[in-house]
A = this chain, B = another copy of it.
């Protein structure tokens, strides 16, 4: 898949404002792709609006599906999260089943990508929403990584600290378990140093909130990643 060689993505939240000027800088920054996703105030309107705006640039756009209602055509890929540390089947496979039951006849399966998710910030909205066991130990997380790589053979494992900078030790341990499964890291990257640190272990780092809080530093993470190879 195209994103196999990527190293950096920006994650845009449809519920947050971004100016036209900033969006242009972001899309032409050298980042590998734009991930559209969020867990709060997601509507079919604000998602569709953001897609149209990003589509003015030549950058690949991916929808990370959090609600069935937000899905429209027009993306390069659809990442479908499977929350490996959720204690509710809804977020492991039931929403997926429901969506396939309703829209299966119209799906372009080649654009769907199963995205294993491990949510590790107990205070984030995603953890609460999905009843995730976010206080997982290093051993727990390593076992999820092995499950993703060897049992489920997932194309992606996303270690998500949403809003909090995570443990490089955990991300490093996960990276050692993965060969075929691509490792995404997201959460709390606000500086060039953090971007470089997580890029040592993750195949792709995802930079999100800082876009809205400190745009200049967000843009700097793009080049930071290029220097860690």
A residues at B contact (CB < 8 Å): 80, 84, 86-89, 92-94, 96-98, 100-101, 104, 107, 109, 112, 114, 139-140, 142-144, 146-147, 150-153
Whether the Cβ atoms of A143 and B84 lie closer than 8 Å is no
In the complex, what residue of chain B is closest to A155 when comparing beta carbons?
A: B153
A88: chain B residues within 8 A (beta carbon) = 89
Give the complex CA separation of A153 and B93 in angstroms.
13
In the complex, what residue of chain B is closest to A92 when comparing beta carbons?
A: B92
Given known contacts A100-B143, A104-B143, is B153 in contact with A153 (CB within 8 Å)? yes
A92: chain B residues within 8 A (beta carbon) = 89, 92-93
Whether the Cβ atoms of B97 and A147 lie closer than 8 Å is yes
The smallest C-beta distance from A90 to any residue of chain B, in angstroms, reads: 9
Give the complex CA separation of A153 and B109 in angstroms.
11
The smallest C-beta distance from A97 to any residue of chain B, in angstroms, reads: 5
In the complex, what residue of chain B is closest to A91 when comparing beta carbons?
A: B89
Whether the Cβ atoms of B144 and A97 lie closer than 8 Å is yes
Q: Return the contact of A143 from the options B97, B109, B139 (Cβ within 8 A).
A: B97
- Could you list 27 A-B pairs, sorted by A, with CB under 8 Å? A84-B93, A84-B97, A86-B89, A87-B89, A88-B89, A89-B92, A92-B93, A93-B147, A96-B151, A97-B140, A97-B144, A98-B143, A100-B146, A101-B139, A101-B140, A101-B142, A101-B143, A104-B142, A104-B146, A107-B150, A109-B150, A112-B150, A112-B151, A114-B151, A114-B153, A152-B152, A153-B153
